[in-house]
Amino acid sequence: MSVPGATVADMTATEDTRAVAERYFTTMNARAWSAFGALLTDDVRYELPQTGERITGRGNYLRFNQEYPGAWQLRVTRLLADGSTASASLLFTVGGRQLVAVVFLELRDGLIARVTDFWPEPYDAPPGRDHLTEQAVSEQDRFVP
Amino acid sequence: MSVPGATVADMTATEDTRAVAERYFTTMNARAWSAFGALLTDDVRYELPQTGERITGRGNYLRFNQEYPGAWQLRVTRLLADGSTASASLLFTVGGRQLVAVVFLELRDGLIARVTDFWPEPYDAPPGRDHLTEQAVSEQDRFVP
């Protein structure tokens, strides 16, 4: 199987990637914007494939985060590092709701050069498969609409 | 930061995990159900957090895949392996639509013991941030509704 690598070619080591990824989420959750910004390349690219939106540049991406509404909190539930790429799942709580987000990070020279965020939404189970399924998802990934 | 590890405690090595994860998607896409089933533990657990559904056991999970409707095809666009855990993003095409899926795999003794699937949906960009954004998502993650 041919699997495309990260689009940002880089040799950042897995354990450095893991440390930067952990710090990305810790500083985001703490609104420690100066420390958060220090993890990003000048030309960092943030993508939200579900809306088609892209934000380019550290200043714009910082402002997007600073302006993001709501007293949200996030908790990292999975964090994988593999070479210069990381992925994570999060529980994101805001105003009594709980969402799951999935994030991919790509590093260049030890800094985050590309962020891709996915925000799945809960939906009703399609009919015709309840002979195989039960309603029982782990707390790790529980949506609270 | 405290990040919970995989819920399936295991010492499967990263490169074994990567090979199994690649084979999981290759055999799924080929409907090679016997080879696909051979990658799963007897008690494999499949979770769809967005619907709250869980499927338990190799037989049930195989049947779920075999019965899944549509002439779908998948293409892996990212694949990370980290110890006994893997994550991937996919482009999933069916009936002219193109979706992005994100999957986490957890291995035990070299077999897949837990699968968590996320199926994000496209949605309209919220107002109030087009001073920061442009419409320009990479082909890698493009939704075609």
> How does pLDDT run across B92-114, given as a tens digit for each residue?
999 999 999 999 999 999 999 99
Select from A6, A78, A132 the Cβ nearest to the Cβ of B60: A132
Q: What is the pLDDT of residue B2?
A: 47
Gap between the Cα atoms of A141 and B116, Å rounded: 9
Find the radius of gyration of the CA atoms of chain B. Answer: 17
Which chain B residue has the Cα nearest residue A69? B128
Look up tokens 């070479």; give the residue. A83
| pLDDT higher than threshold 80 for residue A140 | yes
Write b or e for each residue in B23-52: b if 16 or more Cβ atoms lie within 10 A of its Cβ, otherwise e. Answer: bbbebbbeeeeeebbebbbeebbbbbbbbb
- The stretches in chain B having pLDDT less than 50 are 1-2
Greater confidence, B12 or A109? A109
Q: Yes or no: say if A111 and B110 are a contact pair by the CB < 8 Å rule.
A: no
SS3 B34: helix
| pLDDT higher than threshold 50 for residue A111 | yes
Q: What is the pLDDT of residue B77?
A: 98
Q: Which residues of chain B lie closer than 8 angstroms to A134, CB-CB?
A: 53-56
Select from A7, A78, A82 the Cβ nearest to the Cβ of B104: A78
Whether the pTM exceeds 0.90: the reply is: yes
Asked if the interface predicted TM-score (ipTM) of this complex is over 0.90, the answer is: yes
Query: Cβ–Cβ of A125/B87 closer than 8 Å?
Result: no
Q: Yes or no: say if A103 and A117 are a contact pair by the CB < 8 Å rule.
A: yes
Q: Which residues of chain B lie closer than 8 angstroms to A121, CB-CB?
A: 50, 120-121, 123
A50 closest CA partner among B123, B127, B92, B91 = B123
Neighbours of B140 (CB within 10 A): 17
Q: What is the pLDDT of residue B9?
A: 61
State the pLDDT confidence band at A9, using cuts at 50, 70 and 90: low
Select from B56, B80, B133 the Cβ nearest to the Cβ of A54: B133
Minimal C-alpha gap between B119 and chain A (Å): 6
